[in-house]
């Protein structure tokens, strides 16, 4: 038998629905962190290190900008002519590592002297795009060929030795590790697929498995939180999708810009997500429930 709620409870119920809906909208919407148009259309590669956010291509291509907690940006360094960074990582020594897609290098920066050197160069590099790094200082680099919509993945060891560990892929772009470093996630921007690989103790990949596929828009950078959820920037869609380890979308975070290019965790508690926007040429932020690396 159907039972109707008492009349006096209906306004309370409606109020609770409104409060819940409003809270949800506020929670899952990004806001400005920096002003617009401070970076170029290649605004990318955010990384939070030692209390500061570093972002590539500040004011002009071939530069690195540094952002304080208030969102103020200044020039950190200018790269050698011919080099343009697309991603930033830091190794256990605190050295900055850059994917140099125009110079076909992985660059290394001494943070004290700001000296830039070539860590790895290989004629087989297409355009090193995104980087992730494990606790053994092994770098995994996505390496797309945009003209042919193909790509590959490199592993670069701490001593500079390097090899291709995944080939004959689509347009490899975003790349990140699970918190336990046993899974590598790689997305293909043109094909709209996210793949996952098992990683052994030596850093070799195996068991390539389709993790998630989308029907529209593209992909760019990705990161994992400490619970193993995957944060995917959906380029052109103006949002960041949060996927659980089973590949299910938990929720989406709307950004003010459409061209979400990358994401990084940081802030005082590690729960602030910094998102770069290539159309607005700025950085937006939102707070995550869980911290990330």
What is the Cα–Cα distance from 183 to 198, expressed in whole angstroms? 5
pTM of the model: 0.90
Domain at 10-287, CATH from 3.40.50.620, 3.40.50.2000, 2.120.10.30, 3.30.43.10: 2.120.10.30
Determine how β-strand 193-199 pairs with β-strand 230-234.
unpaired
Read off the tokens for 76: 């950190």
Question: Do residues 195 and 213 touch, judged by C-beta distance below 8 A?
Answer: no
Residues 34 and 10: their CA atoms lie apart, in Å, by 43
Beta strands in 157-221 (DSSP E): 162-169, 172-177, 183-188, 193-199, 205-213
Could you give the 3-state DSSP secondary structure of residue 14? helix
Residue 51 has which token pair?
Answer: 């209390």
**Token match 């795009």: residue?**
129
Per-residue pLDDT of the chain in tens (293 residues, 90 and over written 9): 444 445 444 444 444 444 434 344 344 899 999 999 999 999 999 999 999 999 999 999 999 999 999 999 999 999 999 999 999 999 999 999 999 999 999 999 999 999 999 999 999 999 999 999 999 999 999 999 999 999 999 999 999 999 999 999 999 999 999 999 999 999 999 999 999 999 999 999 999 999 999 999 999 999 999 999 999 999 999 999 999 999 999 999 999 999 999 999 999 999 999 999 999 999 999 999 999 98
């Amino acid at each position: 038998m159907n039972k109707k709620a008492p009349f006096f409870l209906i306004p309370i119920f409606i109020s609770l629905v409104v409060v819940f809906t409003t809270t949800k909208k506020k929670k899952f919407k990004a806001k400005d962190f920096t002003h617009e148009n401070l970076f170029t259309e290649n605004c990318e590669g955010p990384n939070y290190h030692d209390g500061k956010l570093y972002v590539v291509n500040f004011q002009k291509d071939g530069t690195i900008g540094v952002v304080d907690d208030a969102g103020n940006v200044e020039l950190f360094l200018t790269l050698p002519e011919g080099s343009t960074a697309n991603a930033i990582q830091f190794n256990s020594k605190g050295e900055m590592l850059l994917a140099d897609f125009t110079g076909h290098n992985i660059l290394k920066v001494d943070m004290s002297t700001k000296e830039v050197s070539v860590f790895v160069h290989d004629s087989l590099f297409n355009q090193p795009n995104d980087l992730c790094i494990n606790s053994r200082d092994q770098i995994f680099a996505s390496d797309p060929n945009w003209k042919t919509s193909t790509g590959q993945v490199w592993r670069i060891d701490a001593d500079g030795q390097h090899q291709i560990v995944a080939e004959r892929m689509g347009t490899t772009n975003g790349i990140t590790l699970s918190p336990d470093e046993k899974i590598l996630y790689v997305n293909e921007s043109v094909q709209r697929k996210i793949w996952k690989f098992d990683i052994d103790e030596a850093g070799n990949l195996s068991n390539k498995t389709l993790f998630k596929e989308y029907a529209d828009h593209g992909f760019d950078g990705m990161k994992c939180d400490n619970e193993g959820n995957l944060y995917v920037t959906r380029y052109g869609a103006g949002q960041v999708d949060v996927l659980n380890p089973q590949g299910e979308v938990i929720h989406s975070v709307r950004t003010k810009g459409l061209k979400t290019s990358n994401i990084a965790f940081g802030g005082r508690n590690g729960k602030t997500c910094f998102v770069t926007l290539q159309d607005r040429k700025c950085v937006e932020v939102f707070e995550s429930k869980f911290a990330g690396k």
